[in-house]
Structure 1
Amino acid sequence: MLSFTKVFQRARWFVCCLSLAMTAWVSAAADRIDTPSLLSSRASEGLLLDIAKAGDRLVVVGDYGRVLVSDDQGADWTQIQTPVSVLLTSVYFSDARHGWAAGHDGVVIHTADGGDSWIRQLDGRQLNQLQLDTYQALVDAGGDSKTADLSLEDLELFLDDAMVAVEEGPTQPILDIYFINNQKGFVLGAYGLLLKTEDGGSSWVVLSHHVPNPDRFHLNALLVDKKVVNQQVAGQQTLIIAAEAGLLFRSDDQGESWVALDSPYEGSFFGLSSYQDQVLALGLRGHLFASQDHGDSWQQVALTRSASISGAATYNDEIMLVGQGGLVLHGRSLAQLKAFDVQDRRAWSSVVRVKDGWVLVGEKGIKRITDKVLEASYE
């Protein structure tokens, strides 16, 4: 049996090693924030997590701060240097020129020229200080008038977490970014993070405590319900968030307040999409749910594959779903989705429609699937 002295020595050694590891981790995060991405001839073959349209241009983001653009429908790609080396998880363009990408270590970068150049707007150090300042001010004020149901004790817990985050360093991941227009947008991510900007990302407001998410589950995706937007009712845009543990949230006031929706299952949701006046929630192990009433009720869509779904894109009446294990489903209705065999098991994270087909991105880079190849596979 180990003596108390030896147990103490081993415990102290473990704590020392853990401290050194945390110091190295925080230092690495700071380095990634301050180090521009490296240009590589193989950038299009690495881990890429999201793809967006900037007018006729395609923009892809991924590991090591990589951004790639294509002006020929995804046939050829050019890497653009960015000011960071973090894993970029999400990219969104509000028009052909104005775009944002976000990722690990609390990073948000912005372009105003269609992706030709990028500046850093936010990083994990600024994010940690913003959360600390926000919750310190709310606790000092005795509460938040916009969240009357949230107790001072709950706000103190947010403050405690913010203090710990400042000590640990800039490590909080942002998992999704969405802009309603060139000025108004949101970022969301790990541990219930939700921020809002009204000035194109120059400044941010913390809204994490506005979401009824006491266990601080990760917020994975945000979507504006296009059916509501098309009604053009000022101030009535419906926002929906998909999260871990089957959580779904909705806001009808530009993200200032949120309600939890009744969820159709307990597994995590990884994405949201719009299709034929429906909102789709993409989940684990082939779980796909559709709502026609802004999330009040959900109907499960039966699929022939059980892989987790990561992304979706639509074009007129067509839809393509992509996910883990090489999952690619395509069809002209949710009831008639067919599996496309991509000849490998690589995971796909996102997809967009182009003029002659679809462009997918994932763990091993970029793949184009033309309409001709797609239709031939069904014959």
Structure 2
Amino acid sequence: MSIQRLSSFASSAAPFLIIGGLLYAGFFVKPEPKGDAVARPAFERGDRLYGTTVQPDGKILLVGNNGKILSSTDAARSWQYATVPTHVSLQDVAAWDDKRAVAVGNDDVVVVTEDGGTSWKRVDAPKSKIANKLMHVRTAPDGHAVAVGEGGVILTSSDYGQHWASVRPEEDIAWNDVYLKDGHGWIVGERGRILISSDNGQSWREVAGPVKSSLMAVSFRNGNDGVAVGLNGVILASHDGGATWSEEPFRSPDETGAASAGDAKDGSITLYERGKTEHLLCVTWDGKRWIAAGTKGVVAIGDAGAEHWTGARLSPDDRHWYTSIVPGHDAYFLSGSRVVAVPAKRLVQAAAIEKAGEHS
């Protein structure tokens, strides 16, 4: 073979030799790590963490947009990512015990865990013909659970979320929240509508409510005494198991500061004169008082009888909204457009300052 032909052959074969070398490197050459791996931050720009629950062992579970699920075992100081089989937004999460929990969200997705929230699997659930968004879920003893959402959807499970059934015809309404306690259940939704159940959510009947604005959350501290909150700062109270409701006066804080309880940087809250009304999106009973939260960092603190309410903000410049609040061992965990832990003692201190101000 002549030198000229060899040169021509080498030139024509060069691209194939380069490609072959790259393939070899891709399959057989293992890159050496350089420096420490960059850890993915728990909270990223654009995150929305809609639902929160605290398991009996104190572990916190958070769910949010893009199928994100985080867990913390050290009171929210550090977070771990879970393995989740979906990328749709998850709206809420609830736990039965330290191992078993369920999360629901857009596209009527339902995922369950049996290892404390480390890994999750998707389970089948009835699809709505009107809308496909589950808003909230609650668990009850012996594997019971109820999930509610848009299109009037109400789903129930009695086997720790493995199977679900629809228990009420669909309609043009969004049920925004559900609460279960001692075999009873309560659901609130758009246009001030309220449903109650006495058989663990298997059947529901509607009761009259005093407002027409949308109710966003409901909670009961026993079989009789409960609170529902909603748009425009609405607060309703019931003392007969949800059969009747009364509206309680509340005006959320405006922009003019009046007093401060601690340094806002450490999770404390700042009190304000009553004025502009903000929306209330979640409510809980902590064993001593009612706590509700909503838009622009507004927090409402109510007494056991749910008759007297104090308005506050998490900080003077807080413009975030919160769709979930759960009491922990020594703090309240709020999630929504951001996640924050508020020391319980600060909240109690703030309520005392406001009460003193009202009587001065």
TM-score, structure 2 as length reference:
0.73
Query: 1:336/1:127 Cα in 2 relative to 1: closer, same or farther (>3 Å)?
Result: closer
Residue 158 of structure 2: aligned partner: 198
Q: 1:244 aligns with which of 187, 190, 212?
A: 190
Q: Is the 8 A contact 1:44 1:77 kept in 2?
A: no
1:355 aligned onto 2:329: yes
Residue 27 of structure 2: aligned partner: none
Residue 30 of structure 1: aligned partner: none
Alignment coverage as a number of residue pairs:
284
Q: Is the 8 A contact 1:61 1:68 kept in 2?
A: yes
Matches within 5 A, 1:292-307: 292-305=239-252, 306-307=277-278
Of 40-49 and 296-305, the range deviating more from structure 2: 40-49
Q: 2:313 aligns with which of 340, 347, 352?
A: 340
Shift of 1:255: 2.8
Shift of 1:323: 0.5
The SS at the match of 2:292 is: strand
For residues 312 and 251 of structure 2, the distance between their equivalents in structure 1, rounded to whole angstroms, comes to 8
1:223 aligned onto 2:179: yes
The SS at the match of 2:107 is: helix
Shift of 1:77: 1.8
For residues 76 and 44 of structure 2, the distance between their equivalents in structure 1, rounded to whole angstroms, comes to 11
1:75 aligned onto 2:77: yes
Shift of 1:316: 2.1
Shift of 1:372: 4.5
Residue 52 of structure 2: aligned partner: 51
Q: Is the 8 A contact 1:330 1:340 kept in 2?
A: no
Shift of 1:115: 0.7
1:319 aligned onto 2:266: no
Bigger helix fraction: 1
Shift of 1:310: 0.9
The gaps in structure 2 that reach 5 residues or longer are 1-38, 253-276, 354-360
Residue 262 of structure 1: aligned partner: 208
For residues 312 and 74 of structure 1, the distance between their equivalents in structure 2, rounded to whole angstroms, comes to 20
Bigger strand fraction: 2
Q: Is the 8 A contact 2:85 2:120 kept in 1?
A: yes
Q: Tell me the C-alpha RMSD between the 2 structures.
A: 2.2
The SS at the match of 1:105 is: coil
Residue 65 of structure 1: aligned partner: 67
Amino acid at match of 2:95: F
The SS at the match of 2:236 is: strand
Residue 263 of structure 2: aligned partner: none
Query: 1:44/1:69 Cα in 2 relative to 1: closer, same or farther (>3 Å)?
Result: farther
Q: Deviations over 1:198-234 (max 9, x none)?
A: 222222222132xxx7x4311111112x4xx2xxxxx
Same amino acid, percent of matched pairs: 24
For residues 174 and 302 of structure 2, the distance between their equivalents in structure 1, rounded to whole angstroms, comes to 31
Which structure ranks higher in relative contact order (CA pairs < 8 Å, sequence separation ≥ 6)? 1
The SS at the match of 1:342 is: coil
The SS at the match of 1:267 is: coil
Amino acid at match of 1:316: G
Q: Is the 8 A contact 1:43 1:66 kept in 2?
A: no
Question: Larger C-alpha radius of gyration, 1 or 2?
Answer: 2
For residues 240 and 375 of structure 1, the distance between their equivalents in structure 2, rounded to whole angstroms, comes to 28
Of 186-195 and 282-291, the range deviating more from structure 2: 186-195
The SS at the match of 2:66 is: helix
Q: Is the 8 A contact 1:331 1:338 kept in 2?
A: no
Q: Is the 8 A contact 2:298 2:311 kept in 1?
A: no
Q: Is the 8 A contact 2:53 2:61 kept in 1?
A: yes
Amino acid at match of 2:174: H
Shift of 1:192: 0.7
Query: 1:293/1:85 Cα in 2 relative to 1: closer, same or farther (>3 Å)?
Result: same
For residues 168 and 325 of structure 2, the distance between their equivalents in structure 1, rounded to whole angstroms, comes to 29
Q: Deviations over 1:151-189 (max 9, x none)?
A: xxxxxxxxxxx4xx6xxxxx7111111222352222211
Matches within 5 A, 1:121-136: 121-122=123-124, 127-128=126-127
Q: Is the 8 A contact 2:250 2:309 kept in 1?
A: no
Deviating above 6 A after TM superposition, structure 1's stretches of 4 or more consecutive aligned residues are none
Residue 11 of structure 2: aligned partner: none
The gaps in structure 1 that reach 5 residues or longer are 1-38, 132-161, 166-170, 230-236
Q: Is the 8 A contact 1:275 1:319 kept in 2?
A: no
